[in-house]
Structure formats: C-alpha cells, structure tokens
Homo-oligomer: A and B are copies of this chain.
C-alpha cells in the first residue's frame, strides 16, 4: 500500500489541514502554534475554544527553558510525551514523582494522593515549571503552597482532564498571578499537557 512515511511530511501536512479547518481567531503566531498542537494531539477542534494562554505565559516558559531548568509533571504519560531530543538541546530535564517510592509512602501515610505528595517533593526542590495533565488535587496542592509562600512558580500548564475537580482546579489556577496555559472546562490530559510543552520548545529549538 502507498502511504506517507516521512514523519515530518505527516506533521507538516497535519498542521496545514488544521489551519485550513480552524475557525476565525485572534491568536498570535506563537499562540497559534500551541493551539494547533493541542488539536494535532487530540483530533479535537474544540481546543481552539478552550486553550487559555496568559499574556506572559509563552515568554516566561521560553525564558525558563532557555535557562536549562527541570520540568516537573504530574504523570509519567506527560513525561513520556515531552520530546527528549528538544529537552536535551535546551539542557533541560523532566521529572515526575508520582510513582516515586518515598512519595507513595508519604501519600499512603497521610491519606493524600500521590500526585499531591509529588507536588510537595517538587516544591522542596524549588520547582518553577510545573505541568499538570491529570491531577486536580496536584493543582490544588500547588496553589495551597503558593498561598503559604512556599513556592513561586513561573510557568504552569493546567490541563487536568475529568469530571470531578478538574474544571474547578483550573478555574482556581486562573485566579492566581502565575503565567499559565490552561485548558478550560473538562477536557485536557497528559497528551495535551505534553503537546503544549513541545510547542513552546519547538519555538526555540529545531524539531528533529
């Protein structure tokens, strides 16, 4: 059978189709790269209506990435989805503590989610860039710690998906003065969260 086999041709073709089928919009060129990539990773054009990008978000994320920081994610799926070649070029790394042994133990002892315990560990390490694709409880925990003055994140992806707490956690995040890219409502997911990070990395380093 004949089919397109070059991954870059497939991606370029996909982005052209997405652009041609999107509704009228007012996104900047960089915002559009992010929105298109969320549609690319889900096949769902609804993302053009629900991606929220705070005014300072892209600049703040780019500045952090250029400094070679550690990105923390709430799931191993989000970690897996973040492009490792691009991370390496930037001198960045990505960590996820949700399946960490010590974190699991703390969560069990204290009756909190592993995601929450994972946020605490990231905060101890001075997290600046946090990516949430799954756990509303993790966002709530991060915001608790922001209010307590224990952490001052410079960029957050707020993309938990779900029906219990996800929407609320993201609405809460939007009340804070944290540079953020957030998926409003119930939709989102670790794949979407990773796609947002990749879109920003590809603004700085070439895509392999």
Contacts and interface: CB of A to CB of B under 8 A. Distances in A.
A177 to B, nearest CB: 18
B13 A144 contact: no
B116 A5 contact: yes
Given A136-B3, A137-B3, A42 B161 contact: yes
Given A40-B162, A162-B43, A191 B188 contact: no
Interface of A: 1, 3-7, 9-10, 13-14, 17-18, 40-44, 46, 75-77, 79-81, 111-114, 116, 136-137, 140, 143-144, 161-166, 168-169, 172, 185-191, 194
Given A189-B191, A191-B190, A161 B41 contact: yes
A190 B77 contact: yes
B191 A113 contact: no
A17 B161 CA distance: 14
Q: Copy number of this protein in the oligomer?
A: 2
Contacts of A4: 137, 164-165
Given A5-B113, A5-B137, A188-B43, A164 B79 contact: no
B165 A10 contact: yes
A86 to B, nearest CB: 14
23 contacts: A1-B144, A1-B172, A3-B136, A3-B140, A4-B165, A5-B137, A10-B136, A10-B137, A10-B162, A14-B163, A14-B164, A40-B161, A42-B187, A43-B161, A43-B162, A43-B166, A43-B186, A44-B46, A76-B80, A77-B77, A81-B190, A189-B189, A191-B191
